[in-house]
Structure 1
Amino acid sequence: MVYVLFSVFCSVSVSVILKLARRYAVDVPQIIVWNYPVAVLCTWLFLQPDWSFAAISTAPVALYGTLALLLPGIFFALGASIRYAGIVRTEVAQRLSLFIALLAAFWLFGETAHTGKLIGIVVGIVGILCSIGWHKGKNQHGLNHGMWLFPMLVFFGYGIIDILFKLVAQHTEVPYTASMLFVFCGATVAAFAYLGYQVFISRKRFSMHAVFWGIVLGGFNFANILFYMKAHRALPENPSMVFTGMNVGVIALGALIGIFVFNEKVSFVNKIGVILAIVSVLIIAYS
């Protein structure tokens, strides 16, 4: 379980970095841009993907291109969600995006829809609604635009990304690690195109601080993926334990850090939402 703990720590660290970046007035979108070259380098060094030009010719290019655009786009939404809705709500939305992939598994990939998992999905949806529900914060009147829009973008966005990665995995002609490398390369191109537009067209100031923050962010983001993969390899007979530990751990640790470190204001209904999110993960994992 040590790999699960490391993965949880790295996942929550990504949110903490984005939260701190706003506090120190570092441009968050630029930080996210520099995260992708790090992802490419780390994938090449640590996963050592096996690829060939023959494999590239059979690769699902349309899927790669879609993911290359979605990954940075939804990452930008994640940063905005942390800014406007906080770590607590954002972590719940990101972790429970697994419901989108589960529903797709039932309806698109022909898996059996177990009653327990459907109950878990229903409980989780209620948890999401409660976690981003009515909040009377300072200078806020009920729900504001950022309090619900960005977490919902995170929820649906990461759910769609999970589905697309599953479709990529079905193309067995290309090793999955090679597919990850291709997608990260495409995301790097898309992210730098955005950066070029911001700097040269919109005349936004280029931030050297963002380069450093982006390298740190990319390191933690990739470490999260690496340790999660290692956890599954270390516990091949207990995938539900890895699944549960990761999702419950991130939601719980994210909630603790958001509330006690960053003093995020959450209502009683929001706290109920976090508890329901954890319960839903447990139901899905063990049903």
Structure 2
Amino acid sequence: MIYILLSIFCSVTVAILLKLAKRYQISIIQAVTVNYLTALALCFFFFKPDVKLVTSAAPWPIYIALAILLPTIFLFLAASIKNLGIVKTDIAQRLSLFIPILAAYFIFQEDFNYLKIIGLCIGFPAILLTFLRKTEEDKKGNWVYPVMVFVGFGVIDVLFKQIALYKALPYTTSLFTVFCLSFIVSLIIVTVMVIHGKIKIQLVNLACGLILGLFNFGNILFYMKAHKALAENPSTVFAAMNLGVIIVGSLIGIIAFKEKLTKLNYLGILLALAAVVFIKLSQDAV
């Protein structure tokens, strides 16, 4: 259970750091770039990936797609937290699990039980109610950010599941490869922006990226350790992680950052929790 708690702590801390980025005028793209370099180094240290196994036969289209999506969606994640807050962004990220569930049904032809169908039916209204609010900010199109987070993380999850099915390479070696490519993509973006005078390299951005990378990798490491420690109960890890992030993230957003929510938003949060519970029960029933 300690690994699940540590993973929740790391996940919520990443959201808090991105929330504070605006206050301290942090360049998100610079921080994201260093974040992937840090994750790359930690992945090499903890997982000892054998890069010699990565050949032309590896699933490169999936690697490249992830390398582009990861930093891109990270930027949308930061923009969503900045404009709509931790509560709504965390729920968008967590409910993105519905995309791989739908992919499992439509693409991989997996069977659905009634519990999973109930979870999906509850989940989509939860998304709408959570993001629903009548303010001037919404008229600026800020709702696009959490929608991109929802879709982006869902697609990323599907692609990572595809990598997990590729048995010729250890999953951690593929993860290392993806981090490496993501760093290269982020570095290219930063280089182009510096050349065009859009940003300046600053030490504070590099320091923030280092801290961000530590917690981002910590989330992945402890989540994997939790699955290993509770190998016979993967759905318990899944449920505890998603419910924990929604609850803790919501409390921090509301109490620490004074994020304003309507009664319909609170109803959306409750429905999101219920949806995760039904998905968890559906996995136990299989």
Which bin holds the TM-score, normalised by the shorter protein? over 0.9
Bigger mean CA offset, 265-274 vs 214-223: 265-274
Q: CA deviation at 1:146?
A: 4.5
* Corresponding residue SS for 2:260: coil
Residue 30 of structure 1 is matched in structure 2 by: 30
| Whole-angstrom CA distance in 2 between matches of 1:51 and 1:165 | 18
| Whole-angstrom CA distance in 1 between matches of 2:140 and 2:71 | 21
Residue 275 of structure 1 is matched in structure 2 by: 270
**Where do 5+ consecutive residues of structure 1 fail to align?**
none
Residue 256 of structure 1 is matched in structure 2 by: 251
| Whole-angstrom CA distance in 2 between matches of 1:94 and 1:177 | 23
2:24 partner amino acid: Y
* Corresponding residue SS for 1:52: helix
Q: CA deviation at 1:168?
A: 1.4
| Whole-angstrom CA distance in 2 between matches of 1:243 and 1:203 | 40
Residue 209 of structure 1 is matched in structure 2 by: 204
* Corresponding residue SS for 1:112: coil
Between the two proteins, the alignment pairs up a number of residues equal to 282
* Corresponding residue SS for 1:286: helix
Residue 231 of structure 1 is matched in structure 2 by: 226
Residue 111 of structure 2 is matched in structure 1 by: 112
| Whole-angstrom CA distance in 2 between matches of 1:52 and 1:109 | 31
Q: List structure 1 runs of 4+ shifted beyond 4 angstroms.
A: none
Q: Is 1:62 the equivalent of 2:61? A: yes
Residue 222 of structure 1 is matched in structure 2 by: 217
Q: Is the 8 A contact 2:29 2:186 kept in 1?
A: no
Match among 164, 168, 178 for residue 163 of structure 2: 168
Q: CA deviation at 1:57?
A: 2.6
Q: Is 1:99 the equivalent of 2:94? A: no
| Whole-angstrom CA distance in 2 between matches of 1:17 and 1:262 | 12
* Corresponding residue SS for 1:56: coil
Q: Identity across aligned pairs (percent)?
A: 44
Q: CA deviation at 1:26?
A: 1.4
Q: Is the 8 A contact 2:39 2:213 kept in 1?
A: yes
Match among 182, 185, 202 for residue 187 of structure 1: 182
Q: CA deviation at 1:50?
A: 3.2
Q: CA deviation at 1:167?
A: 1.2
| Whole-angstrom CA distance in 2 between matches of 1:69 and 1:275 | 33
* Corresponding residue SS for 2:22: helix
Q: CA deviation at 1:118?
A: 1.6
TM-score normalised to structure 1 length: 0.95
| Whole-angstrom CA distance in 2 between matches of 1:59 and 1:97 | 27
Match among 198, 218, 221 for residue 193 of structure 2: 198
1:215-247 CA distances to partner (integer Å, 9 max, x unpaired)?
000000000000000001111111111111100
Q: CA deviation at 1:169?
A: 1.6
1:135-155 CA distances to partner (integer Å, 9 max, x unpaired)?
44xxx26x3335411000000
| Whole-angstrom CA distance in 2 between matches of 1:230 and 1:262 | 31
| Whole-angstrom CA distance in 2 between matches of 1:30 and 1:266 | 31
1:43 partner amino acid: C
TM-score normalised to structure 2 length: 0.96
Q: Is 1:52 the equivalent of 2:47? A: no
* Corresponding residue SS for 2:55: helix
Over the aligned positions, Cα root-mean-square deviation in angstroms equals 1.2
| Whole-angstrom CA distance in 1 between matches of 2:61 and 2:197 | 29
| Whole-angstrom CA distance in 1 between matches of 2:175 and 2:141 | 31
**Where do 5+ consecutive residues of structure 2 fail to align?**
none
* Corresponding residue SS for 2:168: coil
2:257 partner amino acid: F
Bigger mean CA offset, 117-126 vs 84-93: 117-126
Residue 4 of structure 2 is matched in structure 1 by: 4
| Whole-angstrom CA distance in 1 between matches of 2:197 and 2:131 | 33
* Corresponding residue SS for 1:97: helix
| Whole-angstrom CA distance in 2 between matches of 1:184 and 1:129 | 33
Residue 77 of structure 2 is matched in structure 1 by: 78
